[in-house]
Amino acid sequence: MGVNVSIPNYKKRIKSLFPKDFKLENSTIWSFKQRGSWATHNGNYRGNWSPYIPRNLILRYSKENDLVLDYFCGAGTTGVECKLLNRNFIGVDINPSAIQLAEENANFPTENLFKDFKTGIEFKVGDARDLSFLDNESIDLICAHPPYTNIIQYTHDNINDLSHLNIREFLIEIHKVALESHRVLKEGKHCTILIGDMRKNKHVIPLGFRTIKEFTKAGFTIKELIIKRQHNCKTTGFWYNNSIKYNFLLLAHEYLVTFQKAEKSMVITNHIPNDNKYKDIQLSKSEYNRQISIESSSVWIFNENNWLNNTIANLTERYSKKNFNLFDIDKKHDVNYDLIIKMSPNLLNECLKFAKFRLLNDGILAVICEDIRLKDGTVYPSAIGINSLVDELKEFKIKEIVIISIENSGQKKYRNELEINHKYILIYRKVP
């Protein structure tokens, strides 16, 4: 079998065809503590996604008898869900062993599930960059989980396998995937991908942001930008202590991005949105100086009422030993600091100029921001635009991307859109 199949000859006994007490997700934080084990789903294929993800996407963005495509199908998780939900499905993977396993997983009886079951489930060995066997605008929904460059290698020696590429090569090739996705997808329909970041030399590599930009360059707009929490991240004991000792955060999130094929594509620019929501904050530094348990992962879960206090407390405890500056509040700007916190993108250019002169070498600049729901229902990814701006400056290098998950954030009900209940902290190191 392929190099990422942990138990190749495993044959699961089916206990149930459906998840118990399933409900559609209604916010932008998705968290599945249990991977999901109904039907033939199991975790033996390394890197495959939880079946809760395609189930949510299929139910939200397609209808029965629609045609769904997954061009990184792996062990066939999306195909199994399409069979259970009465959708047609085409699964493509570069790894022949994965296709063999996917066909086995999708081969189970579904008698009496539907009155009119005429859907077809098809798997084939192929390349996501070349979908020439598909007509233009023939697909109703794309669900895909690309490899994160070479973190997990899905074949031993296949030169066409994207999991063997470095970051620069990966982005070039993933753009080709995005172009093919846009070509085969019907107008107005959706393409969702799950992608994560990487870490090198105690600095995060924003692979997620860069991949999202490649898809918007190919002509897509962003319908939803979801944060998928990871629960296999160890945040206690050895790893917690090392996180504090060596000053890094354990990666505990991925980006689940739903793109839409619309008449006009979205252009992610370096423009900083005007956001004055924190302009009336008059709190003093003393209100943030309290004992807390320092967060050790890239997802910080706070209540709606205390998220800002807890965020600033964590930043100051982890990154400041001398003087820190709350740029939106502090009036004294004539000393040097080891930490500067910007609580919104408003006046960010002024803050960047200030940080160039007043932030100590190896000091930290932390920028808090959030995605913006536009009037047409699409999402503008402010964090990606901000990072594109700062990335052009030689003085700063991104160190961490933190997700703030806001609990009890109103629990609003949206029919066609998800409630945005997360924020970002972009954490940059001043380069000596």
Local confidence pLDDT in tens for the 432 residues of the chain: 344 554 444 566 788 999 999 999 999 999 998 888 898 998 776 668 999 999 999 999 999 999 999 999 999 999 999 999 999 999 999 999 999 999 999 998 877 777 666 679 999 999 999 999 999 999 999 999 998 755 444 444 555 555 557 889 999 999 999 999 999 999 999 999 999 999 988 899 999 999 999 999 999 999 999 999 987 655 556 666 777 777 889 999 999 999 999 877 777 776 565 555 544 444 445 555 555 778 999 999 999 988 999 999 999 999 999 899 999 887 666 789 999 999 999 889 999 999 999 999 999 999 999 999 999 999 999 999 999 999 999 999 999 999 999 987 655 555 689 999 999 999 999 999
CA gap 210, 268 in Å, rounded: 11
Q: State how far the alpha carbon of 407 is from the alpha carbons of 103, 192, 303, 372, 414, in Å.
A: 40, 25, 5, 18, 17
Q: Tell me if 267 is assigned to some domain.
A: no
Reported as half-sphere exposure (CB side, CA atoms, 13 A), residue 384 has a value of: 23
CA gap 249, 401 in Å, rounded: 9
Asked if 44 and 77 sit in the same domain, the reply is: yes
The predicted pLDDT at position 267 comes to 78
pTM: predicted TM-score of the whole model, two decimal places: 0.90
Answer for the pair 162, 173: CB distance below 8 angstroms, yes or no: yes
The predicted pLDDT at position 166 comes to 83
Asked if 207 and 251 sit in the same domain, the reply is: yes
What total of structural domains would you count in the chain?
A: 2
CATH number of the domain at 365, please: 3.40.50
Query: Strands 299-303, 396-407: parallel, antiparallel or unpaired by DSSP?
Result: parallel
Q: Tell me if 4 is assigned to some domain.
A: no
Final residue of a structural domain among 202, 229, 261: 261
Range of the domain at 174: 29-261
Name every residue whose Cβ is closer than 8 Å to that of residue 278 and which is 6 or more positions away in sequence: 328, 343, 344, 346
Backbone torsions φ then ψ of 199, nearest 5 degrees: -130, 140
